[in-house]
Amino acid sequence: MLSKSNFLYFIKVSIAFFILPALGIYLSSFANIFYENISYIGNIIGHQYLMYLWGCLSISYFYFMNYSLLKKIQVLPVQWNYLLFSSCILMIISILLPYHPELYPFLSQCHIYTAFIGTIPFIFITFFILFQLTLSHKKIFRYLFFIFQSLLFICIFIIFYYGMINSLVEILFSSITAILLCIAQITYSPSSP
């Protein structure tokens, strides 16, 4: 019989390593990965339900993994939990807002702003959590922090090179961040130095 902790471990690993990357790659296969983003694919090409699934699963996963790590490291004030929650709510709202500039110009702009405003705090919280974990002096956390910094640099480079947030950035960021959070959450234990 599968214990509850083994089942949760299986779910965390499956979502981070298989489900999120596979959904992202499948969604992005409907358009040019460099010149379109998943919002375009979901709203204009007509794969809304896949976009909702990918987005809500990604955001929920990010929330629960970050929340779990915030509780474990016990360094951040409780307001960070509210900021994390608000950030994830804004990202969910951005997914639900239609992105179709020709038909809904105002809602499309709201989609862009809520996605941006929701993502920035999430990035800072994840950055700070991974930084705090490096203070535990375990080499794995220094690697995770370095990979997250490199991921941010690569995503920023791609955004400036193509002049937009494209599917490549969305897939890289969501998949690699999910994997890093999964490894951090599984590896970190407050009792170990």
| Average pLDDT rounded to a whole number, residues 89-94 | 92
CA-to-CA distance for 128 and 42, rounded, in angstroms? 32
Question: Considering the domain boundaries, does residue 1 fall inside one?
Answer: no
CA-to-CA distance for 86 and 121, rounded, in angstroms? 9
Range of the domain at 65: 8-187
Single out the residue of 183, 186, 166, 179 nearest to residue 20, CA to CA: 179
Distance of CA 134 to the CA centre of its chain: 20
Question: Considering the domain boundaries, does residue 3 fall inside one?
Answer: no
Question: Considering the domain boundaries, does residue 142 fall inside one?
Answer: yes
Give the tens place of pLDDT for each residue, 19-63: 999 999 998 888 888 988 888 888 777 788 888 999 999 999 999
Question: Considering the domain boundaries, does residue 193 fall inside one?
Answer: no
Question: Considering the domain boundaries, does residue 20 fall inside one?
Answer: yes
DSSP 127-145: HHHHHHHHTTT-HHHHHHH
Give the tens place of pLDDT for each residue, 131-148: 988 887 688 899 999 999
Question: Considering the domain boundaries, does residue 192 fall inside one?
Answer: no
Contact between 83 and 73 (Cβ < 8 Å): no
CA-to-CA distance for 193 and 180, rounded, in angstroms? 20
When divided into structural domains, the chain yields a total of 1
